Amino acid sequence: MYKTLKIVKSNNGPAIGTIATTLALLERLKTDFDLNFDNHIAEGGAQIKGASGKKVASILKEFGETRPFAKEGGRTNRGGQGDIRPLFEELKKLDIGNGAPEERNSILISLQKYLVEKVREYHNRQKIKFSFIQGMSTWQMIKSLLEESHKEGKAGFVAQHLVGAKLQLRFPEIQISNESASTADQVTNRHGDFNVGDTVFHVTIAPMHGVFEKCKLNLKEGFKVYLLVPDAKLAAARQMAEEFCNGQIAVESLESFISQNIEEISFFSSSQLKSNVMSLIETYNKRVEEVEIDKSLMIELPSNLIS
């Protein structure tokens, strides 16, 4: 029946919201075994009755899974209804509606248990690979890490948290904000991804018109602005910055911005570089652990960096 749920490529399985909503619906069916799907839709037609982050968390906890998952509980998963309807059709084929409630609920619990295992698989997905190679420049190592994360569709998340980790290491006396990379600036009233002093930092792997509009607004508000982009996008981003912001913002490559500071705090010493690269990755992982649900965004420490 799991195969009836729509698979999304980026998640290598059903969407997080779809799994969350399905768990909540199966819970509803334990006390209200109504296989008319429309009767489980809340007034307004946009949400599933009873679906919430708190509800999903309580269901997961019953199965021993306490890690954060789908804070909205599927309420904002607009495609969820169409994804889940086929599951109800499969439940009708099981013809369990006339059986004893205990037997019926036993089947529903087994379906929930299967989904909880998928949640565990989601949490335990392989981390991003990172290679520490003696003799390779720090710039190239950061570039390779961003390229690896790009293959997995995670480059935007990785870039933001790497910059946050770098700023935290460089300015340990300053509180560097830490937000999920999927959180829009407007939601938190942020001027950009990071603020240090009177400077705003924007991090993007795809510099488009929108980010330059944000930069222009920052300038009007009296801030200095840094725009950090992949090296491959640097020339185009600088050209756009000249066009939109009249050369008033600093546009730098992510690779240079991150690697140069790691070299600096290592005093350009090879003997100290290894420990500071490790500190960068550990700080990055800690920041991801604090705010991201998807723990596969974390970076796996290579054995030669630990030893």
Stretch 243-271: mean pLDDT:
93
Cα(238)–Cα(247) distance, integer angstroms = 8
Which residue segments constitute the domains of the chain, with CATH numbers given?
Answer: 2-123 (no CATH), 138-306 (3.40.1350)
Stretch 32-37: mean pLDDT:
88
Bridge partners (DSSP) listed for residue 226: 201, 250
Give pTM, 2 decimals.
Answer: 0.67
Q: Which residue has the tokens 């997905």?
A: 125
Cα(51)–Cα(81) distance, integer angstroms = 12
Q: Say if residues 286 and 176 touch (Cβ distance below 8 Å).
A: no
Q: Say if residues 210 and 186 touch (Cβ distance below 8 Å).
A: no
Q: What is the pLDDT of residues 157-186, one digit of tens each?
A: 999 999 999 999 999 999 999 998 777 544
Q: Say if residues 153 and 165 touch (Cβ distance below 8 Å).
A: no
Question: 96-100, 214-218, 220-224 — which is least confidently predicted?
Answer: 96-100
Query: Where does the pLDDT of residue 307 fall: very low under 50, low under 70, confident under 90, or very high at 90 and above?
Result: low
Stretch 147-155: mean pLDDT:
89
Cα(305)–Cα(134) distance, integer angstroms = 10
Check whether 188 has a pLDDT greater than 70.
no
pLDDT recorded at residue 282: 96
Query: Where does the pLDDT of residue 50 fall: very low under 50, low under 70, confident under 90, or very high at 90 and above?
Result: confident
Residues in CB range of 258: below 8 A, 6 or more apart: 142, 162, 163, 166, 280
Q: What is the pLDDT of residues 84-104, one digit of tens each?
A: 888 888 888 888 877 788 888
Q: What is the dihedral of CA 138, 142, 148, 150, to 10 degrees?
A: -160
Q: What is the pLDDT of residues 132-143, one digit of tens each?
A: 988 899 999 999
Estimate to the nearest angstrom the gap between the alpha carbon of 163 and the chain centroid.
15
Q: Would you call 265 helix, strand, or coil by DSSP? A: helix
